[in-house]
Structure 1
Amino acid sequence: MAISLIKSVRSTTILKEAFQVVGRRTFAAGGAKAKKGSKGGAAGDAPKTSSLSKEVKSTTVFGANILKDGQDPKILPDSEYPDWLFHLLDKRTPLSELRRKDIQTLPYDDLKRFVKLDNRARIKENNALKAKT
């Protein structure tokens, strides 16, 4: 009886110690150092500098590789890319400005954009009127 009691006490202390190691909170950002009421991210958190050389940074697109065994693609000179790529971020004319212009003189792309935006605005206006009644 005493031997079984000693074995159970030993096993419970071992389990208790194991639980303390496993059950420890390791996901807290600041731990005991964090101030109460702070919203996370200590004031001393500065962006980490990359250990990559500037030459490698300027010739490779990091994070663009989607293949398991592939490599990140190299940056090519501008002449190797299509012309439309450089116009993707250009500002498009808003509907208000398209309405001010003469429809007869608009280029095809602007006319198509005007029709699309005008239809969208008309639908929104009709939906707002129906919602009020």
Structure 2
Amino acid sequence: MINAGPIRIWIKIMALNQMRSLKSVIIAKNAVGVGQRTFAAGAGKAKKGSKGAASDAPKGSTLSKEVKSTTVVGANILKDGADPKIFLDSEYPDWLWHLLDKRPALSELRRKDIETLPYEDLKRFVKLDNRARIKENNSVKAKN
């Protein structure tokens, strides 16, 4: 059985980030009004949808605990979409569990014999070596 830890941790981090960004928007909205003069609506005109100060108060969560534990609340980025569901570990692809594995750095790969490297490490070595050479060439050109 595959461990669900990384996915659940990622989901919690995403939810916390959403809450933090929402709090910062609310705080920024409140801070803008401090010290600035505002104009009242005309005597005969009322704001559209205005029902007094009670409607401005934040409302509590109406989501049940079951919904909170089976979906990633607030992760939907589509206008017509729904929040993604949390699946069992066995329903996720195998490569997902290896995304956070440590991969060798270029210095480690240079110390090893290139002939004996596995294909994935050899691919990584070529990519990192090319990147390092391009950076070096760019810095030499910038100095001239």
Larger RCO (CA within 8 A; separation ≥ 6):
2
Cα shift readout 1:53-91 (whole Å, capped 9, x = no counterpart): 4332220022336251x4323211010111011222333
Is the aligned partner of 1:31 residue 2:43? no
Using a 3 Å threshold, how does the CA distance of structure 1 residues 53 and 122 change in structure 2: closer, same or farther?
A: same
Using a 3 Å threshold, how does the CA distance of structure 1 residues 126 and 27 change in structure 2: closer, same or farther?
A: same
AA aligned to 1:64 is: N
What is the count of residue pairs matched by the alignment? Answer: 93
Equivalent-residue separation in structure 1 for 2:115 and 2:31 (angstroms): 64
Is the aligned partner of 1:106 residue 2:112? no
1:27 deviates by 6.6
Percent sequence identity over matched residues?
73
RMSD: 3.0
Using a 3 Å threshold, how does the CA distance of structure 1 residues 55 and 27 change in structure 2: closer, same or farther?
A: closer
Greater Cα radius of gyration, structure 1 or 2: 1
Within 5 A, what are the aligned runs for 1:1-133? Answer: 28-29=31-32, 31-32=34-35, 51=61, 52-62=63-73, 63-64=75-76, 66=78, 68=80, 70-133=81-144
For the residue of structure 2 that corresponds to 1:112, the secondary structure is helix
Unaligned runs of 5+ in 1: 1-25, 33-47
Unaligned runs of 5+ in 2: 1-28, 36-57
1:108 deviates by 0.4
- What TM-score, normalized by structure 1, do the two folds share? 0.56
